[in-house]
Amino acid sequence: MEASVAPSLLEEMLGSSESDLIFGNLTNLSNNLSWLFNVSDSLNINIDLINKFQRNRRVDDGAYYALIAMYSVLIVLGSTGNSMVVAAVIRQPAMRTARNVFIINLAISDLLLCLVTMPLTLVELLSQYWPLGDQPFLCKLVGTLQATSIFVSTISITAIALDRYQVIVYPTKQSLKTVGAVLLLLLIWAVAFILALPNFIWRTHRHHVINLPGLYSVNFCFEEWPTKHGGGYYSVFVMLVQYCLPIVTVSVAYAMICRKLKFRLTKSNVRSSKRSERDDRRMKKTNTLLIAIALVFCLSWLPLNLYNLIVDFCNPFGEDLETMLVVYAVCHMMGMSSACSNPLLYGWLNDNFKKEFLEIISILLPGRARVSSSPRGEEITKLPSASQGRPAEERPMVMYTKASESQVNGNHGTSPKEITYIKQVVTNATL
């Protein structure tokens, strides 16, 4: 999942023709460092590379601080947004529905991306060698955790799309129960770990003692595949499972949802022209949201998947490692940006989550919009302005309602096939 650049220390520091000779006498060579510098011209030793190893920096100062700044912005924004999603559910019991379980799982996996994957990837990008010491298990664990969090995030997005498809396109079917949702979450994490397992198996740790001044030893952590282009084959597999399959599933599911909602509005009773125009605007807003979700997912993860595929099969960067790392960092940040956009697409644009977000903001920033809950758990937004309530065009649009179970039980003369059982009122807040 992650790009691993693990250069051979001797081949980088020395010319390839002298590396074998120096390797056999490394201890004596490192103990006589003055001689090493005196013969640097004849041995083609890269003194700049030695300095980079001593500073443990892989890129120049400009790229170094620019990458830290950009990753820091993503980490802060992503952590804040996803923390608000989790806090909204913790604060409001009414939000703890089976349907929201998938959104919470997505927020947790994105928090892992922000708090674990991004910082560790940044450290690996900036460091000339593995900075976490001589710990082989930690090397394997870090790579596996990074890949697992990415798989969980994309699988959760797919699960959300399928769940919305089921509840809107087939409203008469049995709704998802909390126990079933929890079991699906466990399945998502298990599948994600299995998909990431090759990172644990073939991620390798190497320890080298070099005895340079201020640098006794260095460690490398990289992927060492058993076959040629093994990393490339895995990249193809990852692109199919983590990118192509989810984007097709999400696109088809949301296309069917848009079609179903449009059909229901067209089939409904005759309405006034004013109401028709209002519903059309809401319908366009819903369609725009669903298209945006699919489009953002597509654009966010495409560069990183293409980068891994191209570099694993035919590295176009050659010996220009710094350029390769910068390009990888840009592609990686685009993928990680989904951790910032998901709270917006799945949280802020959902009416129920938005009300909870406003309440959290009002607690942190007094004077903002206040949100309270009725005794029955119905959220009521209170605006600080003189105008109370929400404009009609901003209220949740009821896509369709379902007959209550009590009505069904009391109507024995009606065929069950003609009745839609109620589990909730489906509105644009469901999306």
Task: Give me the sign of the Cα torsion angle 111, 112, 115, 117.
Answer: negative
pTM of the predicted structure, to 2 decimals: 0.72
Predicted local distance difference test score (pLDDT) of residue 403? 41
Q: What is the pLDDT of residue 275?
A: 57
3-state helix, strand, coil in the chain (%, to 5): 70, 10, 25
pLDDT attached to residue 276: 64
Is-contact 330 303, C-beta < 8 A? yes
State the average pLDDT over residues 68-90: 92
CB atoms within 10 A of CB 423: 18
Q: Render pLDDT for 94-109 as a digit per residue (tens, 0 to 9).
A: 887 877 888 899 999 9
Token pair in block for residue 327: 């390009």
For Cα atoms 370, 372, 373, give the angle at the middle one, nearest 5 degrees.
160
Tokens of 426: 């489906």
User: What's the confidence (pLDDT) of residue 114?
Assistant: 93
Helix or strand holding residue 381 (H, E): strand 379-382
Q: In which residue are the tokens 């120049």 written?
A: 60
* C-alpha to C-alpha distance for 191 and 185, rounded to whole angstroms: 10
User: At 1, which amino acid appears?
Assistant: M
Strands (E), 188-305: 203-212, 215-223
In the chain the first and final C-alpha atoms are separated, in Å, by 31
Q: Residues 352, 340, 296, CA angle at the centre, nearest 5°?
A: 90
List, in order, residues 6 or more apart from 141 with CB less than 8 Å away.
200
pLDDT in tens, 279-327: 667 777 777 888 888 889 999 999 999 999 998 888 888 778 888 888 9
Closest CA to 252 of 280, 290, 284, 281: 290
Residues 233, 220: Cα–Cα separation, whole Å? 23
Separation of alpha carbons 431 and 429, rounded Å:
5
Per residue in 260-270, pLDDT (tens digit) is 887 776 665 54
- Two structure tokens written together for 231: 């990393």
Give CA separation, 418 vs 5, 174, 232, 408, 414, in Å. 63, 15, 54, 10, 7
With 0-12 / 13-18 / 19 or more C-beta atoms within 10 angstroms meaning exposed / middle / buried, residue 256 is: middle
The predicted pLDDT at position 431 comes to: 55
Alpha-carbon distance of 12 to 262, in angstroms, equals 62
- Burial tier of 166 (Cβ tally within 10 Å: 0-12, 13-18, 19+): middle
Residue 318 gets the label, from left (phi > 0), alpha (psi -120 to 50) or beta, of: left
Say which residue, 212 or 262, is predicted with more confidence: 262
Cα 79 to Cα 339: distance, rounded to the nearest angstrom: 8
Please state, in angstroms and rounded to a whole number, the distance separating the CA atoms of residues 297 and 339.
10
Question: How many percent of the chain have pLDDT more than 90?
Answer: 26
pLDDT score of 49: 61
Write down all domains in the chain, each with its CATH number in brackets.
9-360 (1.20.1070.10)
Instruction: Specify which residues 379 forms β-bridges with.
Output: 373
Residue 375 has phi, psi (to 5 degrees) of -55, -25
Minimal CA–CA distance to 149: which of 188, 201, 205, 204?
188
Lowest mean pLDDT among 166-170, 360-364, 392-396, 411-415: 392-396
CA distance 179 to 372: 29
